[in-house]
Structure 1
Amino acid sequence: MSELTLQQLAETYQDYFSVEHGISLNVRPLDRPLPSTDELAAAIPAPFLMASDVNSLNSSALRSLNRLGELAEELANYLQQQARKVDLLLHYVLRQQDDESTRYITQSYSGSGCCYLADSALSPLQVVEVKLFLDNNDGAVFCYGQVLSCEQVAEKWQIKVVFSCIREEDRELIVRASLHQQSKLLKQKAEQRQQHTSS
């Protein structure tokens, strides 16, 4: 995976729809070139791989039930309860990977990258290790990125990072989570509008 220019990073950052929402992430600057996809695969901590496998197993198991007919609904409910237990356990294990010293909260995120506020600046093109912890037990993603921009906002620095070295299934996981969050926000806005018109 070769490092990108600022222009290429800026274009890549726009590739996916971005949702304004705060989720926890760890960002650690690296003093090295952007790792290769093989190095990424070797570096992903086991809990992140496990979370990815559990997510794909859950969705494929539920798809298979559609062919069973009447019993499918009861069986689906049972499997979803079991999956929920696994998710809770996995969520706990993933939280052990969350390093408080490098923890930030996103202002926005997408399949392309994220934006967050930090106390100290990072240089554009800086290579960083990113751990993204998605809401609602939707899993977590480990990837490498590059800093697109770093601008001072009051006493903080607003940093935009592009996910430059990420597994495709992890990018899809982030896209699904951002779309889910977007639909929740749209539903909330619709409910608020309804309350205003009825009052």
Structure 2
Amino acid sequence: MSQDEYFSVHAHLKINVEELGDGEHVPSDVEFGREIPIAFRIASDCGVLDSSVEKEIHTLHNDQGHALSKFLTAQNEKINLLLGFMLSQQDDPNLRFQTETFGASSLTFIAKKAFQKGQHLRLKLFLENPPSAIYCYGTVYGCKEKNGKFAVGIKYTRLQEEDRDVLIRAALHQQQKLLRQRALERDN
């Protein structure tokens, strides 16, 4: 699947956007793998583990292992709380923005200043569901003035495949949330 085939959803994620300084460049895949901060590696590994055992825990919940399922779910929630706290320490308020849309190939956010098309950026994305954080690089593909501010579009240029999967799950979660909300509004 090419990057352009992923859908985006309208949702607000907390992100950090850092412009690359003079002499900095987008790292190669190998350099990128070594550069990812440990907190983001742990978040990615936890996400992979969560998705791999999710079905098994659900099966336990439906079988006789209801108590075990509840215990494992509670333990997972505790770990996610600790992980969320650890990842919140990676958030730099001076670099903080909020997305308008996001997906597995790109995101958009609003800024007070213009960004240049083709500009390379270091990004940190903080997700609530699934609880995770993503470290990646992106390139500005567009910047349009919007009510005295700027709508900035970024395509990911360095992103781990596991993190792309997390973004897909997060976008699907947002879409399901929207569909449930619309169904409730229709019923009322």
TM-score by length of 1: 0.86
Change (3 A) 1:69 1:183: closer
Q: Which residue matches 2:5?
A: 15
1:116 corresponds to which residue?
109
Change (3 A) 1:68 1:91: closer
Tell me the secondary structure at the aligned position of residue 157 of structure 2.
Answer: strand
Query: What residue is the counterpart of 1:34 in the other structure?
Result: 26
Contact kept? 2:120, 2:139, Cα under 8 Å: yes
Q: Tell me, what secondary structure is at the counterpart of 2:145?
A: strand
State how far apart, in whole Å, the 2-side matches of 1:84 and 1:144 are: 29
CA distance in 1, matches of 2:53, 2:91: 29
Read off the aligned partner of 1:56 and give its amino acid letter. V
What corresponds to 1:4 in structure 2? Answer: none
Contact 1:87 1:137 (C-alpha < 8 Å) held by counterparts: no
Partner of 2:72: 79
- The TM-score normalised by the length of structure 2 is 0.91
1:74–1:128 Cα change, 3 Å: same
C-alpha separation in 2, matches of 1:62 and 1:23 = 24
For 1:71-150, what aligned pairs fall within 5 Å after superposition?
A: 71-136=64-129, 138-150=131-143
Post-superposition CA distance 1:66-96 (Å, at most 9, x none)? 4898443322221110000010011011000
Which residue of structure 2 lines up, in the alignment, with residue 53 of structure 1? 45
State how many pairs are aligned: 184
Moved more, 136-145 or 172-181: 136-145
2:163 aligns to what? 170
5+ long unaligned stretches in structure 1: 1-10
Distance in 2 of aligned mates of 1:161 and 1:77: 40
Aligned Cα root-mean-square deviation (Å): 1.9
- Equivalent pairs: percent with the same residue? 35
Does structure 1 conserve the Cα–Cα contact (< 8 Å) formed by 2:60 and 2:68? no
Separation of aligned partners in 1, 2:40 and 2:68: 28
> For residues 162 and 33 of structure 2, what CA distance do their matches in structure 1 show?
12
Deviations 1:24-49 (A, max 9, x none): 00010113332111121111111111
Q: Secondary structure at the match of 1:61?
A: helix
User: Aligned letter for 1:60?
Assistant: S
Q: Aligned partners of 1:139, 1:18: CA distance in 2, in Å?
A: 18
- How far apart in 2 are the matches of 1:51 and 1:137? 10
SS in 2 for 1:159: strand
